[in-house]
Amino acid sequence: MQASLWMDDSVAHGRVNCMPVRPGLSGGIRALALVATISTAATLVMAATTAAHMAWPNIAFQLLGVGFIVAVIVAHARRVSLGQLMFMAGVLAASLPSLVIAAQHWLDHWDDFMTWLPNAVYIWKKGGFPTPAALPVASDLPGYPPGSSIVLAALWSLAGRVVDNVGPVLNVLCLMIMPGVTMRALDIGPQSLVRLFGLGAVLGLAWTILNVGLDWHWGLSSLPEVATLVAFAAAFVLSAECLLRTSSDARPRLVALAAVLALVTNLKQTGIALVGILILS
């Protein structure tokens, strides 16, 4: 989402390299990497506390929820520019219908009630992961990777109750990262403010309410398929940049790539296979 920030560097280096030079990670990818880092760290800590028979208090989940929100805000506030704001405004305007639909949608996916919601409720109420020695969990597959369940539990703790619609809203917010990822993948150079707003609106529509390639039965649920899609796409773009481009800020991209790949493995039981495929390719 930092297409507008390419201007200065592309003007300075365009004649030498014949392509715009990105000054760093976009706000969306930074937010994804920070949330991934916090979720992965929370998973590791909770695994240790569960093994030690120590339950997390509710305040711990509340602090975790605040951490997720602050991470997203800080990621987008860093090095913000007018062009970046225009692009994000276009994405937000185009994504509002999807956000409204997600906020008002009643969950109807069977996997919500058999797996993901029970797992998140157990983590929040019991303060740890289910074990053979602990109380049983009303889930068909309690051993699923807990990356998204921990995020749900943390946000529910801030609300003080289980909010079913959090999952669909989070999925739409994840999709709103994709316009910025698309801009990076297409390597679109400097644009005017009006055109940046238009690009944000067009890509926002294409990735949300007009996204015919997305199974909205999954999108309007608590399932982590959408988050996995977005994380894998961001990892693919970051991998290509790390391999094909040489720049002074390669280390932050590698760190972000590692964080996003860790998130993929922590979202789905097949995540490790996706990471393996990406590394091999």
3-state secondary structure the chain: CCHHHHHHHHHHHHHHHCCCCCCCCCHHHHHHHHHHHHHHHHHHHHHHHHHCCCCCCHHHHHHHHHHHHHHHHHHHHCCCCHHHHHHHHHHHHHHHHHHHHHHHCCCCCHHHHHHHHHHHHHHHHHCCCCCCCCCCCCCCCCCCCCHHHHHHHHHHHHHCCCCCCHHHHHHHHHHCCHHHHHHHHHCCCCCCHHHHHHHHHHHHHHHCCCCCCCCHHHHCCCCCHHHHHHHHHHHHHHHHHHHHCCCCCHHHHHHHHHHHHHHHHHHCCCHHHHHHHHHHC
User: What does the pLDDT profile of the chain (281 residues) look like in tens digits?
Assistant: 333 333 333 333 333 333 334 457 888 999 999 999 999 999 999 999 999 999 999 999 999 999 999 999 999 888 788 988 999 999 999 999 999 999 998 888 888 888 889 999 999 999 999 887 767 777 887 888 899 999 999 999 999 999 988 999 999 999 999 999 999 888 887 889 999 999 999 999 999 999 988 888 888 999 899 999 999 999 999 988 888 766 666 788 889 999 999 999 999 887 888 888 887 77
pLDDT of residue 185: 86
pLDDT of residue 90: 96
Q: What is the pTM of this model?
A: 0.85
